[in-house]
Chains A and B, each alone.
Chain A
Amino acid sequence: MSIVANKPEPLLYEISNPGTIGYSLPESDVPATPLPTSLLRDNLNLPEVSEVDVVRHFTRLSQKNYCVDLGIYPLGSCTMKYNPKVNEEAIRLPGFAQAHPMQPAETAQGALQLMYELQQYLGEISGLPAVTLQPAAGAQGELVGILIIRAYHIARGDTARCEVLIPDSAHGTNPATSAMAGYKVVEVKSDARGNMDLNDLRAKVSNKTAGIMFTNPNTLGLFEEHVREVNKIVHDAGGLVYGDGANLNAIVGIARPGDLGFDVIHSNLHKTFSVPHGGGGPGAGPVMARADLAQFLPTPIVAKQGDQYVWHVPEHTIGRIKSFWGNFLALVRAYTYIRSYGKEHLREIAENAVLNANYLLALIRHVYDPQVPERISKHEFVLNGTRFKKEYGVSTLDVAKRIIDYGFYPPTIYFPLIVPECLMIEPTETQSKASLNEFANALLKIAEEARTNPQLLHDAPHDTPVSRLDDVRAAREPLLHYKPPEAEKEMAA
Chain B
Amino acid sequence: MLKTIGVESVDNLFDDVPEDAQYPELNLPAALSEMDMLRTLRGMAARDANASEYAYFLGAGAYNHFIPATVPHLIFRAEFFTSYTPYQPEISQGTLQTIFEYQSMICDLTGMDVANASHYDAATAAAEAAVMAINSVKSGNKIIVAPSVHPHYRATMRTYLEGQHIPIVGDEDLSATLDAVLDKHLDNQTAGVLIANPDFLGNIRDLHAIAERVHAAGALLIISTYPIALGMYQAPGDYGADIVIGEGQSLGNALGFGGPYLGIFACKEKYVRRMAGRLVGQTVDKQGRRGFVLTLQAREQHIRREKATSNICTNEALNALAACVYMATMGKQGLRQVAELCYQKAHYTARAIGKLYGYRVLTDSFFNEFVVECPKSVKEINRALYQRKIIGGYDLKEEYPYLKNAMLVAVTEMNSREQIDQFIQALSEVGQ
Contact = CB atoms under 8 A, between A and B. Distances in A.
- The answer to whether A and B assemble together is yes
Interface in A164-201: 171-173, 175-183, 185
Contacts of B62: 100-102, 324
27 contacts: A1-B91, A13-B101, A23-B337, A39-B206, A39-B233, A44-B336, A66-B88, A67-B79, A68-B82, A99-B49, A107-B386, A113-B44, A137-B314, A143-B311, A172-B308, A175-B305, A180-B310, A277-B82, A279-B83, A324-B152, A324-B259, A326-B259, A351-B10, A400-B88, A466-B289, A478-B279, A478-B281
A175 B163 contact: no
A148 B261 CA distance: 25
Interface stretch (B118-126, B138-146, B179-187): B118-126
A288 interface: no
A437 B408 CA distance: 60
Interface stretch (A233-241, A335-343, A385-393, A444-452): A335-343
B80 A62 contact: yes
A155 interface: no
Contacts of A332: 41
Interface in A395-434: 400-401, 404, 409-410, 412, 415, 433
Contact of B259 (A142, A330, A343, A378): A330
A80 interface: yes
A278 B262 CA distance: 13
A40 B160 CA distance: 35
A103 B390 CA distance: 11
Contacts of A279: 80-81, 83-86, 95, 98, 317-318, 321
A139 interface: yes
B209 interface: no
Closest 5 CB pairs of A and B: A342-B31, A95-B45, A101-B258, A324-B258, A278-B318
Contacts of A3: none
Contacts of B31: 339-345
A9 interface: yes
Contacts of B153: 323
B291 A409 contact: no
Interface residues of A, number: 189
Nearest to A89: B38
Contact of A124 (B26, B293, B325): B26
Given A342-B30, A343-B26, A410-B88, A67 B83 contact: yes
A478 to B, nearest CB: 5
B5 A358 contact: yes
B48 A107 contact: yes
B293 A469 contact: yes
Interface residues of B, number: 198
Which of B4, B32, B104, B310 counts the most chain A CB atoms within 10 A? B104
B105 interface: yes
A296 B1 CA distance: 46
B335 A176 contact: no
Given A46-B109, A54-B328, 17 more contacts: A28-B340, A30-B417, A54-B325, A86-B34, A99-B50, A100-B64, A104-B382, A172-B304, A270-B314, A319-B159, A329-B259, A329-B260, A339-B40, A376-B15, A376-B16, A468-B286, A478-B272
Interface string A91-113: 10111111111111001111101
Contact of A471 (B114, B293, B308): B293
B199 interface: no
Nearest to A377: B13
A280 interface: yes
B161 to A, nearest CB: 9
Which of B22, B81, B156 counts the most chain A CB atoms within 10 A? B81
A152 to B, nearest CB: 13
Contacts of B391: 100, 103, 107
Nearest to B10: A351
B310 A280 contact: no
A22 B345 contact: no
B220 interface: no
A276 interface: yes
A49 B301 contact: no
A13 B104 contact: yes
B103 interface: yes
A318 B27 CA distance: 29
A259 B21 contact: yes
Interface string B293-335: 1011110111111111011111111110100010111111111
Interface in A142-168: 142-143, 146-147, 150
B234 interface: yes
A234 B330 CA distance: 56
B416 interface: yes
B370 interface: no
B331 A48 contact: yes
Which of B79, B153, B292 counts the most chain A CB atoms within 10 A? B79
Contacts of A83: 82
A422 to B, nearest CB: 13
A355 interface: yes
A86 B38 CA distance: 8
B369 interface: no
Interface in A73-88: 73, 75, 78, 80, 82-83, 86, 88
A61 interface: yes
A95 B50 contact: yes
